[in-house]
A and B are shown apart, each in its own frame.
Chain A
Amino acid sequence: AQSVSQHNHHVILSEAASLELGCNYSYGGTVNLFWYVQYPGQHLQLLLKYFSGDPLVKGIKGFEAEFIKSKFSFNLRKPSVQWSDTAEYFCAVTTSGSARQLTFGSGTQLTVLP
Chain B
Amino acid sequence: DGGITQSPKYLFRKEGQNVTLSCEQNLNHDAMYWYRQDPGQGLRLIYYSQIVNDFQKGDIAEGYSVSREKKESFPLTVTSAQKNPTAFYLCASSVGRASGTDTQYFGPGTRLTVL
B40, B98, B103, B106: the one within 8 Å of A43 (CB): B106
Q: Which residues of chain A are within 8 angstroms of B48 by Cβ–Cβ distance?
A: 100-101
Known: A104-B42, A105-B42, A106-B41. A99 touches B100 (CB 8 A): yes
A residues near B (Cβ < 8 Å) are 4, 6, 9, 32, 34, 43-46, 49, 51, 90, 92, 94-96, 98-107
Q: How many whole Å from B25's CB to the nearest CB in chain A?
A: 12
Q: How far apart are A19's CB and chain B's nearest CB, in angstroms?
A: 19
Quick one: which of B31-81 are within 8 Å of A by CB? 31, 33, 35, 40-45, 48, 50, 56, 58
Q: Which of B40, B44, B103, B108 sits near A46, CB closer than 8 Å?
A: B103
Q: Does B84 contact A (CB under 8 A)?
A: no
Given the interface pairs A43-B107, A44-B106, A45-B106, the reply to whether A96 lies near B100 with Cβ below 8 Å is yes
User: Number of B residues contacting the other chain (C-beta, 8 Å)?
Assistant: 28
A to B contact number (C-beta, < 8 Å): 61
Q: Which residues from chain B contact A103 at a C-beta distance below 8 Å?
A: 45
Contacts of A106 in B (CB 8 A): 40-42
Please name all residues of chain A whose beta carbon is closer than 8 Å to the beta carbon of B105 when the two chains form the complex: 43, 45
B104 within 8 A of A: yes
Q: How far is the CA of A47 from the CA of B42 in the complex (A)?
A: 16
Residues of B within 8 A of A96 (CB): 100
**B101 sits at the interface (CB 8 A):** yes
Residues of A within 8 A of B44 (CB): 104
Which residues of chain A are within 8 angstroms of B100 by Cβ–Cβ distance? 32, 51, 94-96, 98-100
Q: How far is the CB of A3 from chain B (nearest CB, A)?
A: 11
Additional pairs, 6, CB under 8 Å, beyond known A6-B42, A101-B58, A107-B40: A43-B105, A98-B100, A100-B56, A100-B100, A104-B44, A105-B42
Distance, CA A105 to CA B100, complexed state (A): 17
Q: A95-B100, A100-B50, A100-B100 are in contact. Are A9 and B40 (CB under 8 A)?
A: yes
Is the beta-carbon distance between B42 and A43 smaller than 8 angstroms?
Answer: no
